[in-house]
Structure 1
Amino acid sequence: MVIVRDTLVDALVARLRDGVLSGRYPPGAYLPSERELAAEYGVTRTSLKHALSRLAQLGLVETKHGVGTRVLDYLSSGGPELLPMLVVADGPGWLEETFQARREIGALVYARAAERRGAGHCADLRALHEAVAAAQTADDAQLAECEIHRVLAAASGNRVYGFLVNSLLNAYLPVRQLLIAPFRDPGRAAGRLTPLVEAVCAGEAGEAHTAAVRYLAETERLMLSGEDR
């Protein structure tokens, strides 16, 4: 099928990526030749080379000159940047594991944030907390809450935690409309956040850990049930 889109390479990457993740191109198999793929998708070989290079950066394929492009086992070679694609491609399984990581990593990160937060972090947290409460739409509240997680990760002082939180949020954001239930009432959403924000800003690591576990478990339950109650 010929791809007719403005972002040609992006579209080609998505089509080939989906072929790998769906098993159409299984691990260890070689993709068709560049000439065949270019003809199949109606693109130039230059566009195809750009797309294959991006797939290689994702850990999905490797290309060897004179041999071809071999599909890799993404569970062994991929990284967290694949999470958004996997959640979209195979929602239930990957979403469950993403939530598990969210609970376990989040509690650790936010306890560390309570130990290492600065005045600027607390000012940002309180401003975003107010933004959740004052949000005019559920989506606005949801997006403000996402930024709270980024600030909490930054407050931990560990940049690797920041990357991990970014990866989890990047997996979450494309499907956030399916998980919007906790934010339909922004005031209640802000109320659920209050113990976490206050514990972090007070520097109480134990309380922050407890509040994080409670908050992440409760919002997960609401997201999966689709009801804010």
Structure 2
Amino acid sequence: MTRHAFSAVHKASLSDSVYRQLADKILSGELPAGEALPAERELSEVLGVNRGAVREAIKRLQQAGLVAVRQGGNSVVLDFQTEGGLELLPNLLVHKDGRLNGTVVRSIMAMRSSLAPDIAAAAARKGGQRLADELDTLLARMRADARDLRALQQYALDYWKKLVERGGNIAFRLAFNSMTKTYTQVWDVLSGVLEAEFRDLDNLTAIAVAVRSGEPEAARAAGHRHVEIGRQALERALDAVERNGGRL
């Protein structure tokens, strides 16, 4: 128990604090794949928490694909890139020293660029008139609040939430949930970076029209044009951030 330095955690949300600390060490490589975690008793002592909090944290690590509990109760670190899922994305977005992980950001944007057109197409197949009406209502609010960038950002997120919820694809929905959790971590930073995308009402309107008329390919094309605006803007911003040391 001397090789890795741990910090005592605060008493609020004990298991969450333990989980985050252990997850950070695994994701950073400080606790490499194949290494055994210290025993519950040892972790409890060094972290200053009860064994129940440690046990719950390890259960969450197991569910996230970060550790495997072997026979006898020993926990062994897994290779998260092989065993983990999309729920790990928020943990990977920013390095421990505050630097933005550009590789992860670009990976998320690539996934978003691939998924968004299909999400729009699925909504056009299944959404119908009711969804089109809901999208038109959001578009009207976006036009009315055009000077409020933060409001546009929230409306844009609400717009895509409606598309994914009504498209009927559970895999798209779960992937979208994971991306949203990651996105909200840098919400304030992205409000300026993605402004042109939030103001792209032409393509959002085209998606709504395609949903109303049941034209999935038209929705797909508009969805691609829309997210490409944001991808290019974020790519430019990320290049600038990396030139400045990668800090948010």
Cα deviation digits, residues 185-226 of structure 1 (max 9, x gap): 898343453223333333222221111111001022223435
The CA distance in 2 between the partners of 1:187 and 1:99, in whole Å, is 16
Find the counterpart in structure 2 of residue 124 from structure 1.
Answer: 134
- Of 27-36 and 1-10, more deviation after overlay is shown by 1-10
Q: Larger deviation: 217-226 or 108-117? A: 217-226
Residue of structure 2 aligned with 1:216, choices 227, 238, 243 = 227
Residue 66 of structure 2 contacts residue 77 of structure 2 at CA under 8 Å; is this kept in 1?
Answer: yes
Q: CA deviation at 1:132?
A: 2.9
- Local SS of the residue matching 2:93: helix
Aligned residue for 1:103?
Answer: 113
1:194 paired to 2:205: yes
- From 171, 174, 189, the equivalent of 1:163 is 174
CA contact (8 A) 2:194 2:233 kept: no
Amino acid at match of 1:106: A
C-alpha distance in structure 1 between counterparts of 2:87 and 2:211, whole Å? 28
Aligned partners of 1:118 and 1:155 also within 8 Å: no
User: What does residue 60 of structure 1 align with?
Assistant: 66
Aligned to 1:45: 51
Contact kept in structure 2, 1:111 and 1:205, CA below 8 Å? yes
Residue by residue, what CA displacement relative to the aligned partner does 1:85-109 show, whole Å, maximum 9, x if unpaired? Answer: 2223462111101111111111122
Pairwise CA RMSD of aligned residues? Answer: 2.4
Q: Where does residue 241 of structure 2 map in the other structure? A: none
Higher helix share: 1
Does structure 2 conserve the Cα–Cα contact (< 8 Å) formed by 1:117 and 1:155? yes
Q: TM-score, normalised by structure 2?
A: 0.82
The alpha-carbon distance between structure 1 residues 132 and 5, as it changes in their structure 2 partners (threshold 3 A), is farther
Deviations 1:21-46 (A, max 9, x none): 00011111111222221122111111
Tell me the alpha carbon deviations over residues 57-102 of structure 1, each in whole angstroms, 9 at most, x when there is no partner.
1111122352511001111211111122222346211110111111
Q: Which runs of 5+ in 2 are unaligned?
A: 1-6, 238-248
| Structure 1 residues 74 and 159: CA distance shift in structure 2, 3 A | same
Question: Hey, what's the Cα distance between the residues in 2 that align with 1:78 and 1:134?
Answer: 42
What stretches of structure 1 of length at least 5 have no aligned partner? Answer: none
Normalising by structure 1, we get a TM-score of 0.88
* 8 Å contact kept, 1:9–1:50: yes
Q: 1:121-150 deviations in whole A, cap 9, x for unaligned?
A: 112212222333334642332122112112
For 1:220, the aligned partner's letter is R
**Residues 87 and 102 (structure 1), Cα distance of their counterparts in 2 relative to 1, 3 Å cut:** same
CA contact (8 A) 2:200 2:226 kept: no
Q: How many angstroms apart in 2 are the aligned matches of 1:187 and 1:105? A: 18
1:202 and 1:169 map into 2 onto residues whose CA distance is: 28
What are the equivalent positions in structure 2 for 1:12-161 lying under 5 Å apart?
12-89=18-95, 91-135=101-145, 137-161=148-172
Q: Distance in 1 between matches of 2:27 and 2:56?
A: 19
Matched-pair contact (CA < 8 Å) for 2:156–2:198: no
1:129/1:190 contact within 8 Å kept: yes
202-211 vs 73-82, which deviates more? 202-211
